[in-house]
Amino acid sequence: MKMQIDAQRLRSDFDALAAIGVTPDGGVDRSALNDAHLEARRWFLERADAAGLETAVDAAGNHSALLRAHDANAPTLLLGSHLDSVPNGGRYDGALGVLAALEVLRTVRDAELELPVTLEAIDFTDEEGTLVGLLGSYAVAGLPLELANPRGGRDVLVEALARAGLEESRLTDARRDPSQLVAYLELHIEQGPRLEGAGVQIGVVTAIVGARSFRVTFAGRAAHAGTTPMDARADAGLAAARFVDRVNRIVVEEFPDAVATVGALELEPGAFNVVAGLAHVSLEFRAQDEETLDRLQARLFEGVDAQVEPVARWEPTPLDPDVRTAIAGAADELGLSWRELTSGAGHDAQALANVTRSGMLFVPSQNGVSHNPAEHTSWDDCVNGANVLLHAALALSRR
């Protein structure tokens, strides 16, 4: 019988975490560094401490549990994900990966296995981008942080860092020496319908999509909604609406492998009886390769009369072949079916891929639903994922 994680211990952690920041419809609201998120992070360290593991918090606020190798100079195998959520998100996104990582450490410790690496279960700060996006993992990888014009706005970021006791000027101190990293491995829910549709238990992720986001501002002229004739208006809201439709049509008709989303739209002054003078559009688009992203970007903005401000840019990222082999091998050893697939969601693994061997495994998402309180993965699939994480980590630690 292969070594297994303790499914009951993992379940009890999962349920306790899901109660922190719970929303009325059974999802969670743990936007990065809000009160519920900070509480979840304290709880995570308490659980690690209760298990007799060492704990650490770095300059970017990343929270870790550590199982040290005997050799003080041994490199580190990172296992992790994130405890923050999107506003009104689900219970599995990020949370499963962090808890499974913690469970792997406890399992290895209980089995008194002596590994030639330090195992670290890490909860990265602000994966979801309510503040910056991939903030903690970018800091660990020593990648540049977009702090001047962050996705959530400058004021929100400053307030959140203060609430968490983090210093903006020191965030980059979280950078790790790449020579001290063995690999990074992350378990996550798929967040799409492919594994479930194929009836496959484990996804071995080959690459993570690239994404670019922009603030697009249309300027019109605020005017009286009752007295301004229709042909005498400069309606910023109408211009924005036409742009939203244009984005959708271009992607559907010309870029079948890409996706584009307007996830927020705000009109100013924003009243029933005022023609909008300004419209702010939050645009994001994703594709698997740089060339498609470049062409799509040029096409979306072609002839558009608006102020366009870049906000974030995540490069398309292939994941490491050794890590993929370790995941597939672990699934085989456990008798689980697997297939390769790409990720349309962003993940901390894409930041780590810049500095170490980085890989991910997915478990099926019921109906492909995610970023929604209805997000669900069967408990058996969660346990399977955690066991594959364990055995893939063991294989990587010995290589």
Which part of the chain contacts Mn ion (CB under 5 A), choosing from 90-98, 274-282, 336-344, 388-396? 90-98
Give me the least distance between CB of 180 and ligand GLV, in Å please.
27
CA 37/CA 60 separation, integer angstroms: 15
In DSSP terms, 11 is beta-bridged to: none
Residue 346 contacts which entry, ligand GLV, Mn ion, none (Cβ below 5-8 A, type-dependent): ligand GLV
Which part of the chain contacts Mn ion (CB under 5 A), choosing from 88-96, 179-187, 256-264, 303-311? 88-96
**Binding residues for Mn ion restricted to 92-111, rule: CB under 5 A:** 93-94
CA 310/CA 291 separation, integer angstroms: 18
Do you find a cis peptide bond into 269, omega within 30 degrees of 0? yes
Give me the least distance between CB of 111 and ligand GLV, in Å please.
33
CA 238/CA 103 separation, integer angstroms: 52
**Binding residues for ligand GLV restricted to 118-137, rule: CB under 6 A:** 128-129
**CB-CB contact of 339 with 364 (8 Å):** no
- Binder of ligand GLV out of 119, 345, 360, 386 (CB under 6 A): 345
Give me the least distance between CB of 126 and ligand GLV, in Å please.
11
**Pairing verdict, β 202-208 and 338-343:** parallel
For ligand GLV, the closer CB: 187 or 345? 345
Give me the least distance between CB of 81 and Mn ion, in Å please.
6
> Quick check: 348 binds Mn ion (CB under 5 A)?
no
DSSP codes of every residue in 140-166: HHTPPP--SS-TT-HHHHHHHHHHHT-
**CB-CB contact of 187 with 389 (8 Å):** yes
For ligand GLV, the closer CB: 120 or 128? 128
CA 84/CA 38 separation, integer angstroms: 9
Helices and strands (H, E) in the chain, number of each type: 11, 15
CA 320/CA 366 separation, integer angstroms: 27
Sequence-distant (≥ 6) Cβ neighbours of residue 177 within 8 angstroms: none
Residue 103 contacts which entry, ligand GLV, Mn ion, none (Cβ below 5-8 A, type-dependent): none
CA 342/CA 203 separation, integer angstroms: 9
Give me the least distance between CB of 350 and ligand GLV, in Å please.
10
For ligand GLV, the closer CB: 90 or 237? 90
Q: How many residues bind ligand GLV (CB under 6 A)?
A: 4
Give me the least distance between CB of 129 and ligand GLV, in Å please.
6
> Quick check: 27 binds Mn ion (CB under 5 A)?
no
> Quick check: 220 binds ligand GLV (CB under 6 A)?
no
- Binder of ligand GLV out of 61, 346, 359, 373 (CB under 6 A): 346
Helix pair 379-398, 95-110: axis angle to 10 deg: 60
Residue 94 contacts which entry, Mn ion, ligand GLV, none (Cβ below 5-8 A, type-dependent): Mn ion
Give me the least distance between CB of 139 and ligand GLV, in Å please.
17
In DSSP terms, 118 is beta-bridged to: 76
Give me the least distance between CB of 285 and ligand GLV, in Å please.
12
For ligand GLV, the closer CB: 117 or 134? 134
**CB-CB contact of 63 with 120 (8 Å):** no
CA 209/CA 94 separation, integer angstroms: 17
Residue 123 contacts which entry, ligand GLV, Mn ion, none (Cβ below 5-8 A, type-dependent): none
Judged by the rule CB under 6 A, the positions of this chain that interact with ligand GLV are: 128-129, 345-346
Judged by the rule CB under 5 A, the positions of this chain that interact with Mn ion are: 93-94
